């Protein structure tokens, strides 16, 4: 078991109509002038943005707004946000949306609180000394960014997608009303469930230091999301299932399911980041499309964990060799992806990559992880290419 730090200062306010508490929470955390940052038009069309601004108006909190955060959020908008915050003397950021708006807001926060180019942090050149305080009203259960230390930004030039993690970026509060996620398209709901499970699976498949308690929490979380993802496929307005998935999304990525391990594997995410940078695919679907090929490539090097996953999460039959059990678990996971209409390879994802594209992605991925990465199995550029090829 490895030593660990666990730090989740985000105040979570969970339940129906909790967005009505937004002004109170901003005041509690010292905000007086707010940048409301959001994504596409759904937040406007649903009336949520209006409800938020009405609440701030009533509380006497002034604000400016900046929409337009897209999936795989762009650096250009981050720069725009930084300028706006400085010009308007904003002292608190409010992200209204999912991971795109939250990650974009985190990057704006780093850019305001630190001198120099904010991309430096995402380009591994230096670390941040602070972040403008940030609150969240969550509308998509997926990235866990509402409690996590991480954010992912795409630089348009060269389509480079990179993540940066810092405790400074953890949101001060997260308002989570499961009802706000009910109008998501089915595909986005399934993508979210996939992303949530992957955040914990990345921490689960390691060759170092796993803790029994962490495993028990991780397995319980994975089984809960798996079950409720299927419920939501058939009944998207099911409040309880929305709530289970939403809360799981936060716990899957706030650090809880990694305590005591070696930091996790994370190669499925790294491989998907290259897909996401190049093709602008939905992150969750990209993960599902890659995972099976990754798992088949690495499972022999991480057999006890794949066996445990197969038995305790996928609940496959406990017979045959460890390898057979592990493979049965991988198959069961892919069956689950198919059951919620997620792709299990790049073709099903709709990516028509040439061999040259695969070579480019593997190369960029290897550069992005300084040559190699992975705990289940340490992967170098040639391994990454082999996995991309297998995923076609």
Smallest distance, a second copy to C-beta of residue 269, A: 23
Q: Is 367 in the site for a second copy (CB under 8 A)?
A: no
Among 200, 224, 293, 344, which residue interacts with a second copy (rule: CB under 8 A)?
A: 224
Cβ–Cβ < 8 Å for 144, 182: no
Smallest distance, a second copy to C-beta of residue 30, A: 15
Smallest distance, a second copy to C-beta of residue 238, A: 11
In the window 245-284, what residues touch a second copy (CB under 8 A)?
247-248, 251, 256, 259-260
Q: What's the CA gap between 62 and 315, in Å, rounded?
A: 52
Smallest distance, a second copy to C-beta of residue 29, A: 12
Nearest alpha-carbon partner for 374 in 275, 281, 295 = 295
Question: In the numeric block, which tokens belong to residue 3?
Answer: 């030593």
Tell me how far CA of residue 317 lies from CA of 40, 269, 323, 332, in angstroms.
45, 29, 13, 11
Q: What's the CA gap between 29 and 171, in Å, rounded?
A: 11
Nearer to a second copy, 18 or 154 (CB): 18
| # residues contacting a second copy (CB under 8 A) | 38
Among 79, 187, 239, 378, which residue interacts with a second copy (rule: CB under 8 A)?
A: 239
Among 40, 67, 220, 263, which residue interacts with a second copy (rule: CB under 8 A)?
A: 220
Cβ–Cβ < 8 Å for 26, 92: yes
Among 14, 29, 79, 187, which residue interacts with a second copy (rule: CB under 8 A)?
A: 14
Cβ–Cβ < 8 Å for 146, 188: no
Among 70, 159, 182, 217, which residue interacts with a second copy (rule: CB under 8 A)?
A: 217
CA dihedral of residues 12, 13, 15, 18 (deg, nearest 10): -140
The partner residues of 153 in beta bridges, in order of sequence, read: 162
Q: Is 165 in the site for a second copy (CB under 8 A)?
A: no
Q: What's the CA gap between 168 and 341, in Å, rounded?
A: 37
Question: In the numeric block, which tokens belong to residue 61?
Answer: 């909190």
Smallest distance, a second copy to C-beta of residue 198, A: 17
Q: Is 227 in the site for a second copy (CB under 8 A)?
A: yes
Q: Is 4 in the site for a second copy (CB under 8 A)?
A: yes
Cβ–Cβ < 8 Å for 286, 142: no
Q: Is 228 in the site for a second copy (CB under 8 A)?
A: yes
Q: Is 3 in the site for a second copy (CB under 8 A)?
A: yes
Nearer to a second copy, 243 or 281 (CB): 243
Q: Is 15 in the site for a second copy (CB under 8 A)?
A: yes
For 37, the 3-state DSSP assignment is strand
Q: How many CA atoms lie within 13 A of 159 on its CB side?
A: 15
- As a residue count, the chain comes to 392
Binding residues (CB under 8 A) for a second copy: these are: 1-9, 11-16, 18, 211-213, 216-217, 219-221, 223-224, 227-228, 239-240, 243-244, 247-248, 251, 256, 259-260
């Amino acid at each position: 078991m490895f030593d660990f730090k666990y730090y989740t200062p985000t105040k979570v306010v969970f339940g129906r109509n909790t967005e009505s508490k937004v002004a109170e929470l901003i005041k509690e955390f010292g905000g007086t002038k707010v940048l409301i940052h959001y994504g596409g038009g759904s937040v406007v069309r649903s009336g949520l943005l209006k409800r938020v601004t009405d609440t701030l108006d009533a509380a006497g909190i002034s604000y400016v707004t900046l929409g337009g955060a897209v999936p795989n959020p762009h650096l250009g908008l981050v720069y725009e946000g930084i300028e706006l915050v400085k010009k308007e003397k904003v002292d608190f950021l409010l992200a209204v949306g999912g991971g795109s708006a939250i990650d974009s807001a985190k990057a704006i926060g780093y850019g305001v609180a630190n001198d120099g180019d904010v991309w430096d942090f995402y380009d591994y050149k230096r670390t941040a000394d602070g972040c403008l305080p940030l609150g969240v009203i969550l509308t998509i259960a997926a990235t866990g960014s509402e409690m996590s230390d991480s954010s992912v930004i795409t630089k348009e030039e060269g389509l480079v997608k990179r993540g940066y993690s810092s405790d400074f970026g953890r949101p001060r509060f997260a308002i989570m009303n499961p009802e706000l996620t009910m109008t998501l398209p089915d595909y986005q709901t399934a993508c979210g469930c996939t992303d949530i499970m992957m955040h914990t699976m990345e921490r689960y498949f390691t060759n170092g230091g796993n803790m029994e308690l962490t495993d028990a929490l991780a397995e319980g979380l994975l089984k809960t999301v798996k079950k409720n993802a299927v419920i939501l496929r058939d009944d998207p307005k099911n409040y309880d299932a929305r709530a289970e998935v939403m809360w799981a999304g936060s716990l899957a990525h706030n650090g809880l399911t990694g305590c005591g391990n070696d930091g996790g594997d994370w190669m499925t995410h790294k491989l998907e980041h290259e897909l996401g940078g190049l093709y602008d695919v939905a992150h969750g679907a990209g993960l599902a499309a890659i995972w099976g090929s990754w798992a088949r490539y690495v499972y022999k090097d991480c057999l006890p964990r794949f066996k445990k996953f197969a038995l305790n999460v996928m609940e496959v039959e406990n017979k045959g060799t460890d390898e057979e059990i592990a493979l049965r678990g991988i198959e069961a996971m892919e069956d689950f992806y198919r059951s919620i209409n997620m792709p299990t390879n790049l073709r099903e994802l709709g990516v028509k990559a040439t061999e040259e594209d695969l070579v480019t992605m593997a190369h960029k991925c290897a550069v992005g992880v300084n040559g190699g990465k992975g705990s289940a199995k340490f992967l170098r550029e040639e391994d990454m290419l082999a996995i991309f090829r297998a995923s076609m």
